[in-house]
Amino acid sequence: MMASRYATYIFFFLFTSLAIPNFGQIEVEARYENNDYINWNNKVINDVNGISTLYNSAPSYGLGLRYFIQPDKERQMYYYGFAGFSTSSSPVSYYKFSNLMAGLGLRFFPFNMEGDCDCPSFYQEGNLFSRGFNLSLGASYNSFQQSTHSRQSQLLVDAQAGVKIPLGKIIAVQPFIGFVFGTGVLNEDLLLSPTSTLNQIKAGLQFSFQKQVRR
């Protein structure tokens, strides 16, 4: 079931990249996530071999895929669709969770919005920061699963900042850092099963591939 969902996401974005020519970009993301479920920390976990154990939020790792559409070739602003997944690194069942997400967002380059960019090339005039610094805002639906329990629905809202570094006219790499807020989900492994929102700090690398457009 999970594999079929991944295949659906990948097919959708690959199909979109072929169906929409001109100024599209594909981006692959690898990230580390520091998760803070505020209401879960230091709460007692249900009967773990008769030992009283306290819960502490576990970090996670994720992969994602974005497809960008540039509505104006003269300005560095993009709309994007996103699909991805993440999983916690802990092998212990009551710390383990997984996420499947899909959403939409906006990315813009605040110092490259004057209508003079040489798009779609990654090479722009100016220094690395002025031509590469960008901000992204997005919202996504998340299917959250804690340990072996049933999946829950969650809304994620995120903001991130990055600097795009060109490796060529059609390839670029970008280090980024961001913050994610997630609506409340239930932890069934805890004694009182509290609901908690998510505060997450994420960081990682994004690899972008720009379609080659003939002039």
Please tell me the number of Cα atoms within 13 Å of 189 on its side-chain side: 23
Question: Looking at residue 77, what is its pLDDT?
Answer: 83
Q: Residue 144: inside a domain, yes or no? A: yes
Q: What are the percentages of helix, strand and coil residues in the chain, rounded to 5?
A: 10, 55, 35
Q: State the CATH number of the domain containing residue 69.
A: 2.40.160.20
Q: What is the pLDDT of residues 120-168, one digit of tens each?
A: 455 556 677 778 899 999 999 999 998 878 899 999 999 999 999 988 8
The amino acid that residue 97 corresponds to is: F
Q: Determine the structural domain holding residue 109 and report its residue range.
A: 2-210
> Would you say the pTM of this structure is higher than 0.75?
yes
Q: Which has the minimum average pLDDT: 66-70, 91-95, 113-117, 173-177? A: 113-117
CA 124, CA 118: separation in Å to the nearest integer? 6
Question: Is residue 215 in some structural domain?
Answer: no
pLDDT grade, residue 26 (50/70/90)? very high
Q: Tally the domains of the chain.
A: 1
Q: Is residue 20 part of a domain?
A: yes
User: Cis peptide leading into 21, omega within 30 of 0?
Assistant: no
